[in-house]
Amino acid sequence: MPTATHSLLKKHFNLDPTSAKILVVGLGSTGISVARYLKKMGYQFAIIDSRKHPPLMEEFFNLMPDTPVFTGGFDDAAFKVATHLVVSPGLSLNEKSIIKAVANGSIVMSDIDLFACSVQTPIIAITGSNGKSTVTTMLGDMAKAAGKKGVIGGNLGVPALDLLNEEAELYVLELSSFQLERTSTLNANAATILNISPDHLDRHSSVAEYAREKQTVFNGDGAMVINIDDPIVNSMIEAQRKTYTFSIKTTADFYLTQQPACEGDRHTTENEYLMFQNHALLALNELPLEGRHNAANALAALALGHAVGLPFPAMCDALKKFKGLEHRMQRVAILNGITWINDSKATNIGACIAALEGYQTKVILIAGGDAKGADMNELAPIIQEKAKALILMGKDAALFNDALIDTTLPIYHAENMQQAVHLAAQCAHSGDHVLLSPACASLDQYKNYQDRGNKFSKAVLALAH
């Protein structure tokens, strides 16, 4: 039986259950979530994947043994009959088969489009180069503290379509540039771009194009949450829209400042506070996270939560209890007075800069991997300022060398993580911090950034023995 969702999909994409032939491109976790959704909604579809043996193929066959699946390349015949394409985020829209299909009239949709047409529940949408997962998780905790059924996912953890739940009272979606570049129907109740720094330039032709894809998160008429410390994001403000600003550098709707704390009539020492307008919400020292960039993340979460009606006491209570995420400025151990920090999630320059800026003293930095086309000259000044030694690994280590060619900073090279950790231990003294913040992707040497971070933690803990 046709539903309101069917009507919206037909309106936006001319998606008719009786005539549409949908090709799901990519058999990963997103592709399987799309397949489950399409089957439930009664649409005809097939799956295609360029890999001969996609890692989730057996799981898919167990779920839907009668669904046509093409593997081992992109068969033009499959694309030729498709009226619609749902392309997984991991695949570029510049694939020849996709370009040809679009030229022949195929309509491209994303899983986020399907999701947006399926819910009337409030949505918070979060993107940016760094901090997305932290802010998304903060908001999930805030919703729970406020007594609301909030569900989180998207680019983080559970694919968006697998989140669909009649009991949900709030959806919090982390969204990547790859998801947003193929999304047209999202109209989030509150949305933010946390920051823009060079990332994924192997897929996007320039930082400007990357920022334009991110800006899609602001489509619609919901509240905009704007980081005024980031000039690219700040330029996206729309005068006619409801907007909340945040900053850790200056006054904004949500900001960080120093003011005296009071006990009765007696003023105590100054402390930094997370503020909303003239109201102190939370002392910064009550936020149990390392680095000032996490103050910005907390302010963004407060602004987004406020935009959808979450009460400040519950949100602040959630922040006080927030322990951070694995591989994001995660303290692994303190050994012989040396603090070891796992920031493997720092897969781009901006994340590494944010991590380094959070330290008042110089650190021993472990970096390198797949730079994804980024220019390491942008990272060189902060490394010069904040690092006492640099240990490099991975396929693009030479880019760091080239950017720091005139430095007197000690630079060492490691073949693997164990060697990098041993070199760092030789450089470090009691009171030092050793920071794994690679500024690069991990796939040149590891399964993912989690695998890289786990190997770092294992190597550090092995030092104790």
Residue range 444-456, pLDDT digits in tens: 999 999 999 999 9
Instruction: Give yes or no: 62 in active site.
Output: no
DSSP 52: S
- pLDDT reading at 418 higher than 80: yes
Sheet holding 279-283, edge to edge: 150-154, 170-174, 123-127, 190-193, 223-227, 243-247, 254-263, 266-276, 279-283
What does the buried/exposed string (b/e) look like for 80-96 if buried means 16 or more CB atoms within 10 Å of the residue's CB?
Answer: eebbbbbbbbebeeeee
Q: Count Cα atoms within 13 angstroms, Cβ side, for 230.
A: 25
Domain match, 21 and 39 both:
yes
Domain match, 87 and 137 both:
no
Q: What is the pLDDT of residue 200?
A: 56
The pTM for the full model equals 0.81
Q: What are phi and psi of 434, to 5 degrees?
A: -105, 120
Closest CA to 151 of 322, 127, 217, 143: 143
Domain match, 308 and 354 both:
no
Q: Read off the CATH number of the domain in which 89 is found.
A: 3.40.50.720
Q: What is the pLDDT of residue 438?
A: 97
Structure tokens belonging to residue 6: 């069917």
Domain match, 233 and 256 both:
yes
Q: What is the pLDDT of residue 199?
A: 58
Reported as a single tens digit per residue, the pLDDT across 364-408 is 999 999 998 888 999 999 999 999 999 999 999 999 999 999 889
Domain match, 309 and 190 both:
yes
Domain match, 83 and 206 both:
no
Rg (CA), the chain: 23
Q: From residue 279, how far is each of 203, 283, 314, 409 by CA, in Å?
A: 43, 11, 15, 44
Q: Which of 6, 200, 372, 386 is catalytic?
A: 200
Instruction: Give yes or no: 448 in active site.
Output: no
Domain match, 81 and 100 both:
yes
Q: What is the pLDDT of residue 203?
A: 60
Reported as a single tens digit per residue, the pLDDT across 67-81 is 999 999 898 899 999
Q: How many domains does the chain have?
A: 3
Domain match, 215 and 91 both:
no
Instruction: Give yes or no: 293 in active site.
Output: no
Reported as a single tens digit per residue, the pLDDT across 282-309 is 999 898 887 788 899 999 999 999 999 9
Structure tokens belonging to residue 269: 């020492």
In angstroms, the CA 348 to CA 355 distance is 11
Residue ending a domain, choose from 321, 348, 380: 321
- pLDDT reading at 465 higher than 80: no
Residue ending a domain, choose from 63, 85, 109: 109
H-type alpha helices, 70-145: 76-81, 96-103, 111-116, 132-145
CA-CA-CA-CA torsion sign (18, 23, 27, 29): negative
Q: Read off the CATH number of the domain in which 407 is found.
A: 3.90.190.20
- pLDDT reading at 262 higher than 70: no
Domain match, 183 and 293 both:
yes
Domain match, 137 and 90 both:
no
Opening angle at CA 160, ends 43 and 225, nearest 5: 130
Q: What are phi and psi of 223, to 5 degrees?
A: -70, 135
Residue ending a domain, choose from 53, 86, 109: 109
Q: What is the pLDDT of residue 264?
A: 44
Mean pLDDT calculated for residue range 248-263: 81
Domain match, 200 and 314 both:
yes
Percent of the chain whose predicted confidence (pLDDT) is above 70:
95
Domain match, 65 and 153 both:
no
Residue 325: pLDDT band with limits 50, 70, 90: confident
Q: Which of 6, 84, 155, 214 is catalytic?
A: 155
Mean pLDDT calculated for residue range 13-28: 94
In angstroms, the CA 386 to CA 363 distance is 6
- Domain range spanning residue 81? 4-109
Q: Which of 132, 306, 345, 455 is catalytic?
A: 132
Q: What is the pLDDT of residue 58?
A: 87
